[in-house]
Amino acid sequence: MTMDHKRKSLWLLIGGGLIVALGLAFFVSPFASSSPDGLNKVAIDQGFDGQEQESATADSPLAGYAVEGVDDESLSTGLSGIIGVAITFGIGMIIFGLLVRFRSKEPTSGAAPPAMTTGSA
């Protein structure tokens, strides 16, 4: 397999994975259980749920996994999921892109590409 093929199939996997993530976030999340999660349930049962204070971001237009102004509950949840996946991927790419860039600029090694061509058949 040549590097070109590998690169292509890497981006196919990333694209496919993103489509799966967006699909889950949009189509499946409206069906998620709305029961309290494990920690909240323990807090309720053990009587310390009342200690909870409102989040400082409770006024966010996406608070509680709903998009402000979208009345249809399923649509609102699904859209908030799509936005969340996009934001997370974006921030992730910025952080990891910077990490990789800093590394490749280090003087200890030459550019990465020459080292990578040696292994392909």
Contacts of 14 (CB under 8 A, 6+ apart): none
CB of 51 to other proteins, least distance (A): 4
Report the C-alpha gap between 66 and 45 in whole angstroms.
27
Fill in the per-residue mask, 47 to 86: x = in contact with other proteins (CB under 8 A), - = not in contact: xx--xxxxxxxx-x-xxxx-----------x--xx-xxxx
Name residues contacting other proteins, limited to 87-116 (CB under 8 A).
Answer: 87-89, 91-93, 95-97, 99-100, 102-104, 108-110, 112, 115-116
Judged on CB neighbours under 10 Å (0-12, 13-18, 19+), 62 is middle
Position of tokens 């499946």? 28
Regarding 2 and contact with other proteins (CB under 8 A), the answer is: no
| Residue of the chain from 5, 8, 20, 73 that contacts other proteins (CB under 8 A) | 20
| Residue of the chain from 4, 35, 71, 107 that contacts other proteins (CB under 8 A) | 35
Taking alpha carbons only, the member of 90, 81, 91, 88 closest to residue 22 is 81
Contacts of 24 (CB under 8 A, 6+ apart): 81
Regarding 37 and contact with other proteins (CB under 8 A), the answer is: yes
Regarding 25 and contact with other proteins (CB under 8 A), the answer is: yes
